Amino acid sequence: MNAVAALKGHDLGSRVVAYGESDAILYALCVGAGPDRLPLVYERDLHVLPTFGLGLGLWAVEEAGGLGAYDRLKSLHAAQQLTVHAPLPRSGKLEMRAHVANVWDKGSAATVDIAVECEQFTAVYAIHLPGSGGWGGERAPSTPRVDLESASFREEFHIPANLPALYRLTGDLHPVHIDPEVSSGYGFERPTLHGLCTLGIAARTVAEAAGAQPWELRELRARFAAPVLPDNTLEVRAQASDGEVDFDARIGATGVLSGGHARF
pLDDT in tens, 62-92: 999 999 999 887 888 999 999 999 999 999 9
Q: What is the pLDDT of residue 146?
A: 86
Q: What is the pLDDT of residue 85?
A: 98
Q: What is the pLDDT of residue 149?
A: 93
Burial class, 139, CB count within 10 angstroms (exposed 0-12 / middle 13-18 / buried 19+):
exposed
The half-sphere exposure of 124 on its side-chain side, counting CA atoms within 13 A, is 16
Mean of all residue pLDDT scores within the chain: 95
Question: DSSP secondary-structure letter at 193?
Answer: B
Q: What is the pLDDT of residue 72?
A: 81
pLDDT in tens, 216-243: 999 999 999 999 999 999 999 999 999 9
- Average of pLDDT values for 159-176? 95
Q: Which domains does the chain have, with CATH numbers?
A: 5-130 (3.10.129.10), 153-263 (3.10.129.10)
Q: Which residue has the higher pLDDT, 142 or 215?
A: 215
Map 47-74 to HEC letters: CCCCCHHHHHCHHHHHHHHCCCCCCHHH
Question: Radius of gyration over alpha carbons of the chain, in Å?
Answer: 18
Whether 13 has a pLDDT exceeding 90, the answer reads: yes
Q: Report d(CA 149, CA 74) in Å as an integer.
A: 33
CB 17 within 8 A of CB 94: yes
Q: What is the pLDDT of residue 136?
A: 87
Q: Three-state SS for 228? A: strand
User: Confidence band (pLDDT; 50, 70, 90) for 49?
Assistant: very high
pLDDT in tens, 125-163: 999 999 999 898 899 888 778 899 999 999 999 999 999
Q: Report d(CA 16, CA 204) in Å as an integer.
A: 26
In the chain, % of residues over pLDDT 90: 88
User: Confidence band (pLDDT; 50, 70, 90) for 1?
Assistant: low
Q: What is the pLDDT of residue 143?
A: 78
**φ and ψ at 170, to 5 degrees?**
-85, -5
Q: Report d(CA 205, CA 198) in Å as an integer.
A: 11
